[in-house]
Amino acid sequence: MMQEVLISAQLESDLTRAINVCAPDKVFVLTDDTTKQFCWPKLQHFECLKGANLISIKPTDYNKNIATLSQVWESLATNGATRSSCLINLGGGMVTDLGGFAAATFKRGIRFVNIPTTLLAMVDAAVGGKTGVNFNALKNEIGVFCNARFVVLNTLFLSTLDNENTRSGYAEMLKHALISNEGMWSELLNFDLGQPNWETLQPMVVQSVKVKEEIVAQDPHEQGIRKALNLGHTVGHAFESFALHNGQQLLHGYAVAFGLVCELYLATFKTHFPVNKMRQTVQFIREYYGTLPLSCNDYDQLIELMQHDKKNTSKEINFTLLADIGQPIINQTASKEEIKEALDFFRETI
């Protein structure tokens, strides 16, 4: 199914159009308790949402699980959702991932619309058709590819974000720049992430979304070039799962930023990525993202988690690396010794 991304200046009229195209018998809105408080009030008076059923779930990636998914299914069933109904996912990546999976599987699939409210969801999670939940403390272990009918991007929600969630989304923008072009990368490294200017950021967000859209259009099911979007994610997802195992909350973008540090280091000697560009990127990450406490004793567990990554095709761990900015090289592997060397670099540098 085609996915249409609306860069929205008028949220009510754009959402009205999206709902009219879906022509649902009933409209459901999924939020988490945070977006219900901060974002739902911006929409609840819209005429197009009159009579909509609101479903609210517990926030954070910790609750992106089968139990919460079952709660959404139950709410849809109890309130009379049919195959002609529409689910609007209003929230960050956790809501769009889980809500998209709920919609894709309920009655073998109902239409859904994503309204991302975090920077991370705008530039990553809400666009591209990946849906899913965490399972057995592994990130997005259960899910399907299924496009939202519409993704409505409106940056008015960004002013509701705290510093940590802004930086989390920015890490995915940084990844998009690294796989795209040097001008975009340079602009991102020169942006003041400590005091973000939302007007300046808006066109940068649009540019970042276009990078992902263009890649996904070429390879919707991740058979080839879409793997470029996994830069930073092999190690990043392992960091995320490691934190989950240890009862810590590590935002996805922070995990990706830390993953970029390790994978750009790998790229300097595996695919000859320029050391000076690696160091400039790492310096930016060190300035804004802090660190993740690790010891050498954690390396084997992290490598074990990397071996569970869905991109692996055999016992070898699969990476996307860079020859230079804008020159991703997919399906690269690294030995355990090389991965441990990259983790050493992370501990010494960040």
pLDDT digits (tens, 9 = 90+) for 293-346: 999 999 999 999 999 876 666 678 999 999 999 999 999 999 999 999 999 999
Report the pLDDT value the prediction gives residue 155, as an integer from 0 to 100: 81
Report the pLDDT value the prediction gives residue 222, as an integer from 0 to 100: 83
Q: What is the mean pLDDT of residues 130-155?
A: 92
Count of beta carbons in the 10 Å neighbourhood of residue 124: 28
pLDDT for residue 283 is more than 80: yes
Which residue type, as a one-letter code, is found at position 242? F
Report the pLDDT value the prediction gives residue 314, as an integer from 0 to 100: 64
For the record, the structure tokens of 51 come out as 């009579």
pLDDT digits (tens, 9 = 90+) for 43-62: 999 999 999 999 999 998 88
For the record, the structure tokens of 100 come out as 């998209």
Query: Do 216 and 128 meet the contact criterion of CB atoms below 8 Å apart?
Result: yes
Range of lowest pLDDT (70-74, 222-226, 340-344): 222-226
Report the pLDDT value the prediction gives residue 164, as an integer from 0 to 100: 94
Q: What percent of the chain clears pLDDT 70, i.e. is strictly above it?
A: 98
DSSP 97-152: HHHHHHHHHGGG--EEEEEE-SHHIIIIITSSSB--EEETTEEEEE--B---SEEE
Q: What percent of the chain clears pLDDT 90, i.e. is strictly above it?
A: 81
Report the pLDDT value the prediction gives residue 310, as an integer from 0 to 100: 64
Report the pLDDT value the prediction gives residue 284, as an integer from 0 to 100: 98
pLDDT for residue 257 is more than 80: yes
Report the pLDDT value the prediction gives residue 313, as an integer from 0 to 100: 66
**pLDDT averaged over the chain?**
94
For the record, the structure tokens of 233 come out as 């994610």
Burial bucket for residue 114 (CB in 10 Å: 0-12, 13-18, 19+): buried
Task: List, in order, residues 6 or more apart from 300 with CB less than 8 Å away.
Answer: none
Enter the DSSP assignment of 46.
-
Report the pLDDT value the prediction gives residue 296, as an integer from 0 to 100: 96
DSSP 207-241: HHHHHHHHHHHH-TTSSSGGGGGGTTHHHHHHHHH
Helix, strand, coil proportions of the chain in percent (round to 5)?
55, 15, 30
Q: What is the mean pLDDT of residues 175-190?
A: 97
Q: How far is CA 22 from the centre of its chain?
A: 25
pLDDT for residue 265 is more than 80: yes
Q: Which domains does the chain have, with CATH numbers?
A: 4-160 (3.40.50.1970), 164-349 (1.20.1090.10)
Residue 90's DSSP bridge partners are 115
Report the pLDDT value the prediction gives residue 220, as an integer from 0 to 100: 87
Which residue type, as a one-letter code, is found at position 320? T
Range of lowest pLDDT (103-117, 217-231, 255-269): 217-231
DSSP 158-203: GGG--HHHHHHHHHHHHHHHHHH-HHHHHHHHTS-SSS--HHHHHH
Q: What Cα–Cα distance (Å) separates residue 179 from each residue in 50, 147, 241, 320?
A: 42, 23, 24, 10
In angstroms, the CA 92 to CA 125 distance is 8
Report the pLDDT value the prediction gives residue 312, as an integer from 0 to 100: 67
For residue 6, what is the enclosing H or E element?
A: strand 4-7
Length of the chain: 350
